[in-house]
Structure 1
Amino acid sequence: MFKKAERKQARLRLALAGPSGSGKTYSALQMAKGLGSKIAVIDTEHGSASLYADAADFDVMELHAPYTPERYVEAIQAAESAGYDVLIIDSYSHEWTGPGGCLEINDETAKARFKGNTWSAWSETTPRHRKLTDKILTSPLHIICTMRSKTETVQGEGKKIVKLGLKSEQRDGTDYEFTVVLDLTHDGHYAVASKDRTRLFQHPELVTPETGTKLLAWLNDGRSQEQQAEDAVNEAISKIPMVETMHELQSVYAATYRQAQEYPELLAKLNTAKDKRKAELTQPEEKTA
């Protein structure tokens, strides 16, 4: 069934992309300070995040090669279990281009299982990468991923090399997974939005704790899942007394059960209404004299 669209409360999924020296790590930490008080960093840059220990209060896990998707997933799970508010993955690029990352995994898989056919090998590599993507998208933490950028070029007329701009070192299409993608400039460390579902980044700006604060306000502006579940249960309870068959009753109940099941009080209200109408529908008709 179609229903009116509503923006829900959400967790941040943001990417900071830029060349070396553009300020990705520092900017991520500044933004994180505005998002929450407990900050964790997965550092694949050989301890570079710790150089900013005087700029923010955070805990760090240094992740070394091999940079497999599974090791990233384990690190994210560890951050979740420890109760952090914000997780910075610095850098997400290593999972793709680093030693033991997906490009290397695919080459090795092609040699071992597909007679050197790297195209066929993606049938095994892609699901592994996808599990990490899904983990990032479904985590209860606010997540900021830094990604290295490099200049993308093509060969034009007369074999002339034409620069197309900067391209993130990650799988093509990765930008689509994030709510916001900010490209950092080398000169001035300004952030320019190349993707922005929040519509908060209309002009280049320096990333500060206030950047995180305004993002948090936007994220919290939607209706909570519990509020949406309560509305759905109340609507179902209003419909249940009017259903005429058990099939209709089951349809109304099933459409709301998934939203209510995480909230015992709401589920109890839904079950009470359902059981009452079920008893009425299954009650034998009184015989007339």
Structure 2
Amino acid sequence: MSEFEIHRATKRRAKLRLGMSGPAGSGKTYSALLIASGLGGRVGMIDTEHGSGDLYADLLPEGYDVLRLAPPFTPGRYIEAIRAMEQAGVTTIIIDSLTHAWSGEGGSLDRQGKIADRSGNSWQAWRQVTPEHNALVEALLQSRCHIIATMRAKTEYVQEKDERTGKQTVRKIGLAPIMRDGIDYEFTIFMELDVQHNAYVGKDRTRLFDGQIIRPDAEVGRRLLTWLQAGEEEPAAAPPALSEQQKKELANSISSAHDLDELYHVFAAAYRTANAVPDTAALAELTRVKDERKAALESAEDLIYGAHA
């Protein structure tokens, strides 16, 4: 019997996964709230932007809830915030902004730098940080809520050869989200906002706005909701759990710790990731791996100190 399942392609009901990036003043928060209002239901915002989530309290007639997320902006804490919103009964979660999970205090870049400084191995540091980032992406994709994630944008340049002079020149090619490369591929629809508050839709699996320049508003949310609700019901979901690949990556990061201090930090991050799902089986397995690595490191220290006694 084949291990592969083949089925007829079927349009199923889905939850929105919307990403939007833009520079300061482009209206990311405002646009996200308007689209969320069109989706209907209870709206909640995870605010990492120093209280900016409360500035638009009068924008939606039905109001919205705010969860202020303070540093450290670890992927694990983002996952916990998403779970808290789900448990509170929110139907649309706005993450404003996702950028801090990458470049903020305690974010992936910050963690990678600190681990590399301790170990002297940048590649090994990424092996520990990447599973945490991947777990956050999975939390976004698997949430039972609609997700709207805003990201700050930076000017992106490319270096190329001038055919006339033969010299290398630098050319501005536009704006890119401040997040790990390829994050836009994870979303159903991705918008790039400009300072005039217009949004260019560069990716759109719904095909409603693909390639268009639009003004985000509640009507955009209503049109997206109609598309999302068309189709068959999704089969009953299995209990939440980390994927086998995620568990393997987290376990490898723990077993690769070079000393007890690094082990503490790596296990703490892995524990928060698994606990936020929550996946009790994964927690037990990660704890076992941690205990084994701790025993090995302590044994190595005893040998070193014993040799110098």
Which range, TM-score by smaller chain?
Answer: 0.7 to 0.9
Match of 1:162 in 2: 171
User: Over residues 35-64 of structure 1, what are the superposed CA-to-partner deviations in whole Å (9 max), with x where a residue is unaligned?
Assistant: 122110001000112111111211101111
Match of 2:49 among 45, 48, 58: 45
Match of 2:123 in 1: 119
Note the residue ranges of structure 1 that are not aligned, 5 or more in a row.
228-289
Is 1:218 paired with 2:227?
Answer: yes
Match of 1:180 among 189, 194, 210: 189
2-side partners of 1:214 and 1:181: how far apart? 15
Is 1:96 paired with 2:105?
Answer: no
User: Over residues 128-165 of structure 1, what are the superposed CA-to-partner deviations in whole Å (9 max), with x where a residue is unaligned?
Assistant: 11111111100100000001111111334435321121
Measured after TM superposition, the shift of residue 100 of structure 1 is 1.0
| Aligned counterparts, 1:1-289, within 5 A | 1-56=5-60, 57-112=63-118, 114-115=119-120, 117-157=121-161, 158-187=167-196, 189-202=197-210, 203-226=212-235
Letter in 2 for 1:211: V
Give the alignment's TM-score, normalised by structure 1. Answer: 0.75
2-side partners of 1:6 and 1:184: how far apart? 33
Letter in 1 for 2:145: L
User: Over residues 6-44 of structure 1, what are the superposed CA-to-partner deviations in whole Å (9 max), with x where a residue is unaligned?
Assistant: 111110100011111111000000000011221100010
Measured after TM superposition, the shift of residue 226 of structure 1 is 4.9
Letter in 1 for 2:131: P
2-side partners of 1:154 and 1:9: how far apart? 40
**2:124 match: secondary structure:** helix
User: Over residues 199-218 of structure 1, what are the superposed CA-to-partner deviations in whole Å (9 max), with x where a residue is unaligned?
Assistant: 01042111111111111110
Letter in 1 for 2:110: E
Measured after TM superposition, the shift of residue 65 of structure 1 is 1.2
1-side partners of 2:182 and 2:87: how far apart? 30
1-side partners of 2:182 and 2:221: how far apart? 25
Match of 1:243 in 2: none
Match of 2:274 in 1: none
2-side partners of 1:139 and 1:208: how far apart? 23
Letter in 1 for 2:213: P
**1:72 match: secondary structure:** helix
Letter in 1 for 2:208: L
**2:70 match: secondary structure:** coil
Deviates more, 1:173-182 or 1:217-226: 217-226
Letter in 2 for 1:23: G
Measured after TM superposition, the shift of residue 186 of structure 1 is 1.2
User: Over residues 167-220 of structure 1, what are the superposed CA-to-partner deviations in whole Å (9 max), with x where a residue is unaligned?
Assistant: 110111111110000111212x11111110000104211111111111111000
Higher gyration radius (CA): 1
Task: Give the % identical residues.
Answer: 47
1-side partners of 2:96 and 2:228: how far apart? 22
Equivalent pairs, count? 224
Give the alignment's TM-score, normalised by structure 2. Answer: 0.70
Letter in 2 for 1:196: D
RMSD: 1.4
Note the residue ranges of structure 2 that are not aligned, 5 or more in a row.
162-166, 237-309
2-side partners of 1:58 and 1:35: how far apart? 13
2-side partners of 1:105 and 1:164: how far apart? 29
Match of 2:267 in 1: none
2-side partners of 1:222 and 1:109: how far apart? 46
2-side partners of 1:181 and 1:222: how far apart? 22
2-side partners of 1:97 and 1:42: how far apart? 17
